[in-house]
Amino acid sequence: MKEIKLDRDGFVATVTLNRPEAMNTISQSMLSLLSETLIACDEDSEIRAIIITGEGRAFCAGLDLNDAASDEGVSKGGFGLEPTLNLRNFPPNVLYHMNTPTICALNGGAAGFGMDLALVCDIRVAAKKAKIAAAFTKRGVLPESGGTWLLPRLLGWAKASEIVFRGQTLDAQTCLELGLVNHVVDDEDLMNVSRQMADEIAACAPLAVQASKRMMRSGLSEGFDEHAERAYLQTLPLLGSKDFTEGFSAFLQKREPKFVGE
């Protein structure tokens, strides 16, 4: 049974962490396969939105520590990671740099690496039973996969500090109140709601959606004037696209547009 499942339906891909017997903890082989799957989806012009979820009762309970300590694991027989580790193809880094919108369908607990993986997705829809656990400091480590970058930007410094320093676990409703998830839904409705959102994204002009994501990402580290100039340059090719013509025509004709990604 594959540890990472990929299902495609129309313009939407669903990537599932598929190790339910181990609460979808991440092994070395899963890290590589997840990155490869995400990169392939991002490079496929027929995929306009990606849903990421977990099989079973957990989303992802973090890295598999038994695997990490093995000779073939991410730590290669110990927990002393190489200081020059290349993170270019590390799943959170891949997710951050992808242009295809991502939705985390948070089906259960997301702890450690699983928390960072969920937070780096663009949108999060949580089942009522879902939890986000920043338990790093209770294990003697820090949020090593992007959490220290993501949480202060999502919540502000003070609230992020409290959650990380205290090693807090947050239920779905608390995550909603803080703005860590977009929606909380009944457990049985999670995938339907996530798919509806993905379909709405996929119905928009894909080049414009991807350009918007790139600009939002750039805006995290740019001044206003620099960003406005970059956004203007990104707009020019969109104005010459078939999708812009289709969107304009559909508006005038009072019909739904049919975008082709060109």
Residues 249-258 have pLDDT tens digits of 999 999 999 9
Give kind and range of the element (H or E) at residue 127. strand 123-127
| Mean per-residue pLDDT, 44-57 | 97
pLDDT score recorded for residue 129: 97
135 close to 108: Cβ distance less than 8 angstroms: no
Q: Which residues contact 121 (CB under 8 A, 6 or more apart)?
A: 52, 95, 102, 103, 104
Asked whether residue 78 carries a pLDDT value surpassing 50, the answer given is no
Asked whether residue 42 carries a pLDDT value surpassing 60, the answer given is yes
Q: How many helices (H) and strands (E) does the chain have?
A: 11, 10
Q: What is the pTM of this model?
A: 0.91
pLDDT score recorded for residue 65: 75
Min mean pLDDT across 8-22, 47-61, 76-90, 123-137 is at 76-90
pLDDT score recorded for residue 143: 85
Beta bridge partners of 184: 126
Using CB atoms within 10 Å of the CB of residue 252, give its burial: 0 to 12 exposed, 13 to 18 middle, 19+ buried.
Answer: exposed
168 close to 178: Cβ distance less than 8 angstroms: no
Q: pLDDT tens-digit profile of 210-234? A: 999 999 999 999 999 999 999 999 9
Q: Which residues contact 57 (CB under 8 A, 6 or more apart)?
A: 20, 23, 107, 108, 109, 129
100 close to 78: Cβ distance less than 8 angstroms: no
Q: pLDDT tens-digit profile of 162-173? A: 999 999 999 999
Q: How far apart are CA 262 and CA 243, in angstroms?
A: 6
pLDDT score recorded for residue 64: 85
Residue 87 binned pLDDT confidence (cut-offs 50, 70, 90): low
Asked whether residue 138 carries a pLDDT value surpassing 90, the answer given is no
Residue 69 binned pLDDT confidence (cut-offs 50, 70, 90): low
pLDDT score recorded for residue 79: 45
User: Which residue did the predictor score with more confidence, 71 or 185?
Assistant: 185
Asked whether residue 120 carries a pLDDT value surpassing 70, the answer given is yes
Phi/psi for 236 (5° steps) reads -55, -50
Q: pLDDT tens-digit profile of 142-184? A: 888 899 999 999 999 999 999 999 999 999 999 999 999 999 9
pLDDT score recorded for residue 80: 47
pLDDT score recorded for residue 70: 61
Q: Which residues contact 135 (CB under 8 A, 6 or more apart)?
A: 111, 112, 167, 169
What average pLDDT is seen over the chain? 91
> Domains in the chain and their CATH numbers?
4-202 (3.90.226.10), 206-253 (1.10.12)
